[in-house]
Structure formats: structure tokens, C-alpha cells
């Protein structure tokens, strides 16, 4: 999984540098699949069907723009100046998965969007610091939520992080809100995908017919994610660049 994470981080570095005004989101998907396969890996998302769904995902990455929180489908939409573009992708290396997401501003973005990106990145780092053996999952959620609250934003409640390993999505769920000391204990050897989804307005979301999730009130959203291993010496970010 360490190697899967390293290769995914390399792909993401190349991919996020290609986000700019004038680029169709479908082109980002084409590029991502090529980069993943060039790494000797397979795209975890391509043809993936979550439990309970009969609709396999037809792309290698999710590209979610502005008010789309997650699971946005690449399309002929052309990225515009000032867009918030969320890139979410995973790969499998020798049967082991890694998962990662970033939010990129296309061209020049305003101060609110910069603040939203900063808050979400900081929330992810706060959650990772709380991901220690002996702590609880409530500690992770509280760390994420308290960071976001300081910025005056909110976290999406209906979507969570997750365990990861031989399968892309495994137990347990990792919520982005909670109370310190509550919930199951975090154990050494777990590997978790932490992924705060932060919004400027209401935390409520709607699921569209294409299975993407958008903010219910049309407000902006940002999303960051890392695959994190819990060791006896603390959390280890496998998807760090």
C-alpha cells in the first residue's frame, strides 16, 4: 500500500498541474488513466460499482466543479477561470488500493475560494494528527469539524471517509464530525482514507441522477483526501507528495 500511495501521489502531481481554464474535464480523465497505467497500475474507479449500485462508474477519476461536492463525471465541460475543481482518484497496485483527492483553483480565484481550500486542507491535516492508535473515531471527526468551524464553514454530514486495502471501500466509515472520546478505538495496522468535504453554506447535499452529489443550496464545496496508515509511531500518509 505504501507503493500504491507513492504512485498515486505522483499521478496527482502531474494531473493537478493540468487544471487550467480551457481544459475539458474529460481530457483530465484521459490523462489520468494514461498516467495510472504508465505507473503499472489500474484505475480503481473505472467500472467500480459501490455496494447496492447497479451502475458501474465509467471513468478513471471524479471531476467535481464548484457546487458539485464529489463523484462528478468527466464531460465536455470546459474549465472556466475561477472554477474550483476537485480531482478524486484511486489506483490499484498488485491488488492494493490507494485513494486521494485535491481541490485546485483554475486560474485566478477569489479570496473566499482560497479560504475554503485552506480550511479544507487544514481540516484534513487536523484529522490525520488525530488518527493515532488509542484515539477514537470521534476524535478524528471532532478535529476536522473544529478546524472547519473556525473558518465559518461546515462539513458535509451524508458523505464520509472509509477504510481501504484490498478493496477500494472497506469498513469503517470515517465521519468528518463527532465528539472526542466517542466511537470505536483506532488500532495500529488500520489504513483509512480521510476526506473532509467542506461547504460555504448548508451541509445538506442532493444526489443527482448521474450519482454525483451537489450542495443543496448551490454553495461552493472543497474536498481533500489522503490514504493514511496507522502505525505504532503515529499516522503515516501514504499518498504524501
Q: Which residues pair with 193 in a beta bridge?
A: 162, 227
- In this predicted model, which residue has the larger pLDDT, 216 or 49? 216
Could you report the per-residue pLDDT of 75-120, keeping only the tens digit for each?
Answer: 999 999 999 999 999 999 999 999 999 999 999 999 999 999 999 9
Whole-Å CA distances, 156 to 75, 131, 134, 146, 205: 25, 20, 26, 13, 7
Residue 28 phi, psi dihedral angles, 5° rounding: -65, -35
CA distance 224 to 37: 23
Could you report the per-residue pLDDT of 144-174, keeping only the tens digit for each?
Answer: 999 999 999 999 999 999 999 999 999 999 9
CA distance 78 to 65: 10
Question: Hey, which CATH number is domain 2-237, 3.40.50.920, 3.30.160.150, 3.40.640.10, 3.90.230.10?
Answer: 3.90.230.10
Tell me 207's DSSP state.
Answer: E
CA distance 93 to 5: 9
Q: What is the pLDDT of residue 51?
A: 66
The b-or-e profile of 145-162 (16+ CB within 10 A means b, else e) is bebbeebebbbbeebbbb
- Given a contact cutoff of 8 angstroms between Cβ atoms, the answer to whether 223 and 217 are in contact is no
Q: What is the pLDDT of residue 52?
A: 62
- Given a contact cutoff of 8 angstroms between Cβ atoms, the answer to whether 195 and 144 are in contact is no
**Taking the domains of the chain in order of start, what are their residue ranges?**
2-237
Q: In this model, does residue 38 exceed pLDDT 90?
A: yes
pTM of the model: 0.96
Maximum pairwise Cα distance, the chain: 48
CA distance 129 to 131: 5
Amino acid at each position: 500500500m505504501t507503493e500504491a500511495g507513492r504512485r498515486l501521489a505522483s499521478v496527482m502531481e502531474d494531473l493537478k498541474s493540468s487544471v487550467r481554464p480551457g481544459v475539458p474535464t474529460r481530457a483530465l480523465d484521459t490523462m489520468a488513466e494514461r498516467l495510472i497505467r504508465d505507473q503499472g497500475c489500474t484505475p480503481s474507479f473505472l467500472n467500480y460499482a459501490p455496494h447496492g449500485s447497479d451502475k458501474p462508474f465509467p471513468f478513471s477519476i471524479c471531476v467535481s466543479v464548484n457546487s458539485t461536492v464529489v463523484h462528478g463525471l468527466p464531460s465536455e465541460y470546459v474549465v472556466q477561470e475561477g472554477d474550483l475543481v476537485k480531482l478524486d482518484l484511486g489506483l490499484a497496485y498488485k491488488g492494493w488500493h490507494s485513494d486521494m483527492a485535491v481541490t485546485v483553483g483554475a486560474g485566478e480565484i477569489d479570496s473566499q475560494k482560497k479560504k475554503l481550500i485552506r480550511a479544507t486542507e487544514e481540516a484534513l491535516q487536523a484529522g490525520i494528527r488525530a488518527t493515532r492508535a488509542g484515539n477514537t473515531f470521534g476524535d478524528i471527526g471532532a478535529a476536522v469539524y473544529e478546524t472547519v468551524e473556525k473558518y465559518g464553514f461546515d462539513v458535509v454530514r451524508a458523505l464520509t471517509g472509509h477504510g481501504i486495502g484490498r478493496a477500494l471501500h472497506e469498513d469503517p466509515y470515517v465521519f468528518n464530525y463527532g465528539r472526542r472520546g466517542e466511537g470505536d478505538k483506532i488500532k495500529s495496522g488500520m489504513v483509512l482514507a480521510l476526506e473532509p468535504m467542506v461547504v460555504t453554506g448548508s451541509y445538506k447535499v442532493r444526489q443527482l441522477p448521474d450519482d454525483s452529489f451537489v450542495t443543496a443550496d448551490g454553495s461552493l464545496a472543497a474536498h481533500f483526501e489522503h490514504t493514511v496508515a496507522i502505525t505504532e509511531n503515529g499516522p503515516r500518509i501514504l499518498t504524501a507528495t
